[in-house]
Amino acid sequence: MARILGIDLNIHFSWILIFGLVLFTLSDRVFPEAYPFWSDQKTLLVAAVAAFLFFASVVAHELAHAVVARVFRMKVSSITLFLLGGVANLTEEPKSARSEFAMAIAGPATSFALGGLGLLIEAVTTAPGLQSAQAVAGYLGAVNITLGIFNMVPGFPLDGGRVLRSLIWGLRKDRSVATRIAARGGQAVAVLLVLGGGYIVFRERDTFGGTWYFLIAYFLYTSASSSLSADRAAGAVRGALVAQLMSTALHAATPAMVIGTVVRDLVLPFDLRAVPVVVQGSLVGLVFIADLRNVAQEHWPVTPISEVMRGVEGLPSLGPRDPLTRAMELFGETEAPLLPVLEGAALVGLLTRDSLAGYIRMRETLGLADR
């Protein structure tokens, strides 16, 4: 949607709700209680400015993560502003404990700095004419400090959980052990949040406030659990290479073949989800079955496959001696049902998502996972 410092900024639809909720809470309760003599228009205007700056604060927090990640040469593709703060999409996991620590702490540090700045401005804008500035600064001070504290809760994958993981990782020199401890921490915090939410709903009779706790707990528990299973899967493939699992039975098309022929001779008989397109053994592109639906069926007998294939330049690929953990990372980033395995430009194999998933399941079933 927007682009800042070369990073795409996506705004999750939940943010429209959050913005509305913040605006409503400020204009209906917080400011009217603190400044009962303000006109309705003034209250609404000041609340809108405060809500917008709150939104900007969350963006600043996320950008801090992204900028530090880039300093350590981690790829950050985009930032999605989500229900509970933001999510910086790292396209790869941090390579070292030090880089993870710096990347994770940057967000909360920014929030604390903005919070401190807000409180400082609140303290110096005591002149009567500056009352609305003081109100906005005071709100931003409090909300940013709350944001910093919440994100430092030591449950992976919250920032605090990443900080915890990087510290254990640095001490024990084992990322996998660190991930398990930090993710268990995330699950434990989620359970505590459910208990806290229950207390608020049943003891304080505040269903709305309690629901927030349940939502955050749900988000945290599922993310921590998926980190655990991703770590378990990575353990299952550790040490294995792409060459061991790739298929070398290559059913490939040439660019001039028409869609009808490819479907009849390759897709249907071999049950392919994607067809590699080669010229003299070199991969030039891939055709995904999903893309064929963009061409009307009556044109299939005359449309060459080159018109629907995705060129090799934009495609992720593997080498036969790449570790399977690399394949897992790539499958995590794309929707592609398979990845071509190349030696130079030559197509030497195909690795499907299904075969990788099956391999991981089998290792786990046989108890061969690395733990």
Q: List residues near Zn ion by CB under 5 A.
A: 107, 151, 159
**Nearest residue (CB) to Zn ion, 122 versus 159:** 159
**Nearest residue (CB) to Zn ion, 107 versus 197:** 107
8 Å CB contact between 118 and 50: no
The single-letter DSSP state of residue 322 is S
| CA neighbor of 278 nearest in space, from 270, 267, 290, 287 | 287
The single-letter DSSP state of residue 314 is G
With 0-12 / 13-18 / 19 or more C-beta atoms within 10 angstroms meaning exposed / middle / buried, residue 157 is: buried
With 0-12 / 13-18 / 19 or more C-beta atoms within 10 angstroms meaning exposed / middle / buried, residue 50 is: buried
Q: Give me the least distance between CB of 72 and Zn ion, in Å please.
A: 16
Q: Report in angstroms the alpha-carbon separations of 113 from 51, 110, 118, 149, 328.
A: 18, 5, 9, 12, 37
Q: Give me the least distance between CB of 110 and Zn ion, in Å please.
A: 9
Looking only at the bridges linking them, the beta strands covering 86-90 and 274-279 are: unpaired
> Which residue number places its CB atom closest to Zn ion?
107
**Nearest residue (CB) to Zn ion, 107 versus 210:** 107
8 Å CB contact between 134 and 104: no
Structure tokens that stand for 105 in this block: 């702490």
**Nearest residue (CB) to Zn ion, 88 versus 259:** 88
**Nearest residue (CB) to Zn ion, 86 versus 285:** 86
Please tell me whether residue 259 adopts helix, strand or coil conformation: helix
**Nearest residue (CB) to Zn ion, 159 versus 231:** 159
Q: Give me the least distance between CB of 224 and Zn ion, in Å please.
A: 15
Q: Give me the least distance between CB of 58 and Zn ion, in Å please.
A: 9
Looking only at the bridges linking them, the beta strands covering 310-311 and 86-90 are: unpaired
Q: Give me the least distance between CB of 81 and Zn ion, in Å please.
A: 11
**Nearest residue (CB) to Zn ion, 49 versus 84:** 84
| CA neighbor of 213 nearest in space, from 199, 187, 194, 185 | 194
Q: Give me the least distance between CB of 211 and Zn ion, in Å please.
A: 23
Q: Give me the least distance between CB of 169 and Zn ion, in Å please.
A: 18
